[in-house]
Structure 1
Amino acid sequence: MTAKKTTPSSSSSKNRRRQNRTAAAADSGNKNISDVAALDGLINQLLNAHGESDDVLQKVCIENIMAFDQQMWLRMASRIDNVNTDEEKDAIADVMSKCMKIIEATLKKAEETIDRSSEQLQRIISAAADQTTMEFDVPLKSDALRRMEAEIKNCTVDEGMLNTTYAWIRKSDEDKMDGMVHILQKFLQVYAAGELNKNKAPLDELLGCSNTDDWPVVFQKLVNEGYGEVAFTKELQQRMEEVVLGLTNGSYAQRVQAEYLKEVEERSKEYFKQV
């Protein structure tokens, strides 16, 4: 005897769909309530900061700059309409006005920083080109790296420029511009070499050599002078700790210098195996 397959009744299916819609509406309502509560919490924080000083307000505003979207401005306007006293209205309106000015100034400064970083980075990259033909000989040779190093000394390599460099690398990679990727990576190496070279230990002779093609020669020279793997590894570890502890965690400066030291470490292991 074959068992019959049963199918949900039409009424049962409708009930489940109704329950699902009700649950979805409840979730949406809870989410909206949660979002409004979060906005109100930030607005209250801004009002408290405003009560302390404009500097404190600016700090809180910039720290939460990504929260200032259309919903935020609408909620502030709604709060103005719904408070009970003119004093409360004036306070929120004043905060709203000051936050607008702070954000506008911050975004303008960010745009100026990006423009300045792009201009300086362009000068550094151009320095690596043949100064007669203005064409690039890739991979870059020692003389091109020296010109790049000299130009870096005339610029301010900060987080903005390093951020711009990584953005250019991504774009060049997407556009299959391998030569430009190489040049930009060499800039990062030259920058890291200059930052890490303290001119106080044998290790600095290697760290300060931004042309990685010359590293085997430098390794051999250091070994010939009695600088062995134990001393090398100890000093390299100390430099790594300085980068980790001395630079802002997660910064581009920390990332570039740490990657440079990591490459030194990997190449040194390969070299000392052959000694």
Structure 2
Amino acid sequence: MHTAGVWVWRSLSRAPGGVGQDAEEAFKKTVEIDRLIDLLRHANPQELQKTVVENILAFNEGFWIRLAARTDTCKSEDDKKDYEELALSVMSIVDRIVHKTNEKIESSTDVLQGILKPVVDEKEEISWPPRDPEALKAMEEEVTQMEQEGQLDEGFLSEVNAQLRQAKEDGDKPGLVAMLQKVLQLYASRVLSKRSYAKRGNEVLKAEEFLEVLIKAPEEEWNKLLLDSMTFGKGDVSPEDLYAVIKKRIERTLIRTEGGSYQQRVLTEYLKGIQSRAEEIVQVFQGKPE
């Protein structure tokens, strides 16, 4: 039976039209949904609400189908009841969030203004970086706080992207463009830093660990970190290994986020930005500029 299963899987992977790839993607999605369900099951009421807010885009049809399937396969009535109560709780939280969507979108401008307030001097032209280093730190703290409260949702990201697009079109506000890009970088860094893949059992995966250092670091520090940690500089992480873990992290991000969402775009662009910077440094170091 096991051998037959392996044969079927291999046959699918060779089938035309990407059937095997589709099956693999479906399996990965199921694994991610199961992880989320387990996380929700073991959360206390406060953690449950926070987890739902952080994963709001994950509660699609696939999630509810999987949750229903797990409920149906429970071996005890107690477990089944737990799942049913979990479903009701999650639906209630999601419903509250959905009903507040219009209000949230309307207040997204206020959230963005609150984040930018420490670095914006209303009396002077917008400049970047801010003259006061503490202002940038305050801005970072505001992003962290707003993200924890679930305020940095699709409505917020849409607002930032709209203002960024307008600022670029105007062409005379480079300070504002840089400021808004920084907001998106801080958001991406915060969200991507929540998950670590640097350990496999007791083994530390150096390339994964280094990627996580880059993810958390300000963009201005990437050059030094790359030179200090990669094989073309002073370190022991090869470009190929770094590119491989970036590719894997992008794949994980695509699986965990809603297709076409601003969140997906912001997170993947941030990771691609790290790779682009690494490629630039490699080319310069090897004396082969483009």
TM range (shorter): 0.5 to 0.7
What per-residue deviation string (whole Å, max 9, x for no partner) do you get for residues 245-274 of structure 1? 111100000000111111111111111231
Range moving further from structure 2, 221-230 or 265-274: 221-230
**Is 1:205 equivalent to 2:200 in the alignment?**
no
Q: Which amino acid aligns with 2:145?
A: N
What are the residue-to-residue correspondences of 1:18-33 with 2, within 5 Å?
none
Give the structure 2 partner of residue 242 of structure 1.
252
RMSD, aligned CA: 2.9
Deviations 1:4-35 (A, max 9, x none): xxxxxxxxxxxxxxxxxxxxxxxxxxxxxxxx
Alignment of 1:48-67 (within 5 A): none
Give the number of equivalent residue pairs.
Answer: 169
Between the aligned residues of both structures, percent identity stands at 30
Q: Which structure has the larger Rg over C-alpha atoms? A: 1
TM-score normalised according to structure 2 size = 0.52
Q: Deviations over 1:204-260 (max 9, x none)?
A: 1111113x2221111112122312212211211111111111111000000001111
Of residues 216, 219, 222, the one that matches 1:215 is: 222
Q: For 1:34-73, what aligned pairs fall within 5 Å after superposition?
A: none
Q: Kindly indicate whether residue 128 of structure 2 is the aligned counterpart of residue 138 of structure 1.
A: yes
Aligned equivalents of 2:259, 2:228: Cα separation in 1: 35
| Residue 159 of structure 1, aligned match among 127, 145, 154 | 154
Q: Which sits farther off after the overlay, 246-255 or 186-195? A: 186-195
Amino acid in the other structure paired with 1:153:
T
Query: Unaligned 5+ residue runs, structure 2?
Result: 1-96, 199-208
For the Cα contact (< 8 Å) 1:118–1:161, is it kept in 2? yes
The residue aligned with 1:72 is none
Report if aligned partners of 2:229, 2:236 keep a CA contact under 8 Å in 1. yes
Amino acid of the structure 1 residue aligned with 2:142: E
**SS, match of residue 213 in structure 1:** helix
SS class of match (1:139): coil
Q: How does 1:1-275 map to 2 (within 5 A)?
A: 109-129=100-120, 136-140=126-130, 143-155=134-146, 156-175=151-170, 176-197=172-193, 198=195, 200=198, 201-210=209-218, 212-223=219-230, 224-273=234-283, 274=285
How far, CA to CA, are the matches of 1:227 and 1:143 in structure 2? 33
Cα drift, residue 170 of structure 1: 2.6
Change (3 A) 1:126 1:259: same
In structure 1, stretches of 5+ residues that fail to align are 1-105
Give the distance between the partners of 1:107 and 1:218, measured in 2 at CA: 41
